[in-house]
Amino acid sequence: MATGRVSETGPRRLKIVCAGEILWDVFGDGEHLGGATLNFAVHAARLGHDVRFVSAVGDDERGWRALQRAAEAGLDTRYIRTAAGHPTGIVTVTVDGAGQPTFVIHRPAAYDYAELSPAALRELAEPAPDWIYFGTLYQMNPHARELTRTLLDAMPQARRFYDVNLRRDSYTAELVRELLGCAAVVKLNDVEMEAIAGMLAMPGRDVEAFCRESAGRFGWEAICVTQGGSGCSLLAGGEFVKAPGYAVRVADAVGAGDAFAAAFVHGLGNGWKAAEIADFANRVGALVASRAGGTPEWTIAEARALR
């Protein structure tokens, strides 16, 4: 687990609000604190940003450990409530020979019952955040979906980043279409692109055509399609680029996409050109994939040094 954040001279420090899952990824040989939203929050904090993470843990041993680990990672835990009567979330993870994970998500879980008092909501909204991050899995619970809607309504000026992250039995086409319509920026992988093209009845499977048509349909400022070790394709400010990936020995891919997302927001929030954003995000994602767990320690210098 990470033990702090790194800094990079020059970039603007962004205020990022994210609501979602905090859970334990349970592997055959142990447990790692994770959840896509938690992973994103940790990696964004490591990039030097002011991250406000909204979630919940159970009043149990896993919950106590989760709060401790989140604090050690540099996260502000004020908005992680203890939801009595609900267990801290877990996901059983199986990793194949190529390092690709399969997830079994156990719900309901405490993170489904996060809450914000009016005072806490005001704290999150003032000063206004630069970004609100959300994913799909969390929104399957009606209570969690309402909390996300409350955040979006209270902070209309924030840019909205939707990390699609489709998980088996944890999304519907209706929900995905709704979330796509809420977003300003979208990140997804090539498999998810195929699924969403079907949901939107979009002909063909050309990546650039998909990016341009979907961005035009929903009014997004940027969209990125990750393609594993092959890199990514990114459309931002009307410019489409393909950026090659970095060859690493994959320990497991858990958290790599979340780290990529944090680097993507970092570059967008600092006004970088599309090619620079894509290359930096590829570097960070590859570096995290080369290490075990969703939030292994890494530095910007290590990411920059990849060849």
Q: Where are the domains of the chain?
A: 15-305
Instruction: Supply the CATH classification number for the domain 15-305.
Output: 3.40.1190.20
pLDDT digits (tens, 9 = 90+) for 122-152: 999 999 999 999 999 999 999 999 999 999 9
Q: What is the pLDDT of residue 98?
A: 75
Q: What confidence category does residue 4 fall into, taking pLDDT thresholds of 50, 70 and 90?
A: very low
CA distance readout (Å), 108 to 113, 138, 150, 258: 9, 11, 21, 23
Mean of the per-residue pLDDT values of the chain: 92
pLDDT for position 152: 97
pLDDT of residue 41: 97
Q: What is the pLDDT of residues 181-199, one digit of tens each?
A: 999 999 999 999 999 999 9
Listed residue (183, 86, 200) closest to 141, CA to CA: 86
Q: Could you tell me the pTM of the whole model? A: 0.93
pLDDT of residue 3: 41
Mean pLDDT across 17-43: 92
In this prediction, residue 102 carries a pLDDT of 82
Cα-based distances in Å from 297 to 19, 130, 143: 23, 25, 33
For every residue of 35-47, DSSP letters joined together read -HHHHHHHHHHHT
Give the span between the Cα atoms of 207 and 189, in whole angstroms.
Answer: 11
